Amino acid sequence: MKQKKDAVTTFLIVTTALMATIALFVLFGDAFTDASRYSGFYVMFGKSIDNREAVPGLIVGFAVLILSIVLPFTSRIFDSKGKMFVFGLETILLAAAAVIFLFSAQLFQAANNTSVTWDWGLGAGTICCITFAFIGAAFSALAFLRAKHAK
């Protein structure tokens, strides 16, 4: 029975990290629905050729995604209370990253002083990043509940 519990916990850990990794890599896709085809990384870090500034809020979201890839694996060294903390933190971080990227158009607009009449929507890369971050948060919440009931 213990081996089955470890297998399920391992599945949740790997799935959470995989969702965070996918959320990071889909940022290579289009960030907005305009014709210029800005990728998520272009929007995040800016480009001096086009006089685009880096967007600090999106860089924080990027850092949170990087942390969310590594954090689930650290749960293996803790007991049930430590696992609860790690998975709870992971859930909060992934949900926060998703919300940050949900507002990427407004953050980009504010950092680059673009017009208020800007009419771009979120592109496929940003939408997929948000979706996978929320899915990862859901798997992490399941792992949190599993660790909570393992006491």
Per-residue pLDDT reduced to its tens digit, 10-27: 899 999 999 999 999 998
In the predicted structure, residue 150 carries a pLDDT above the cut 80: no
Cα 91 off chain centre by: 10
Compute CA distances 129 → 58, 101, 126, whole Å. Answer: 12, 8, 5
- What mean pLDDT is predicted for residues 3-10? 75
- State residue 121's pLDDT score: 78
pTM across the whole model = 0.85
Q: In terms of DSSP H, where are the helices of 104-123?
A: 104-112
Helix, strand or coil for residue 123?
coil
**Amino acid in position 12:** L
Residue the block writes with tokens 């907005």: 32
- What mean pLDDT is predicted for residues 63-87? 88
The pLDDT tens digits of the residues spanning 83-93 come to: 889 999 999 99
- State residue 139's pLDDT score: 95
State the total domains in the chain.
Answer: 1
Beta carbons of 105 and 121 less than 8 angstroms apart: yes
Q: Which domain holds residue 62?
A: 2-149
In the predicted structure, residue 107 carries a pLDDT above the cut 90: no
Closest to 65 in 3D by CA, of 81, 44, 34, 39: 44
Lookup: tokens for 16: 């959470």
The pLDDT tens digits of the residues spanning 33-57 come to: 765 667 788 878 877 666 677 888 8
Residue the block writes with tokens 């909060």: 92
Alpha-carbon distance 87 to 71, whole Å?
A: 8
- State residue 49's pLDDT score: 61
- State residue 75's pLDDT score: 83
Q: What is the CATH number of the domain that holds 29?
A: 1.20.140
Lookup: tokens for 128: 């997929």
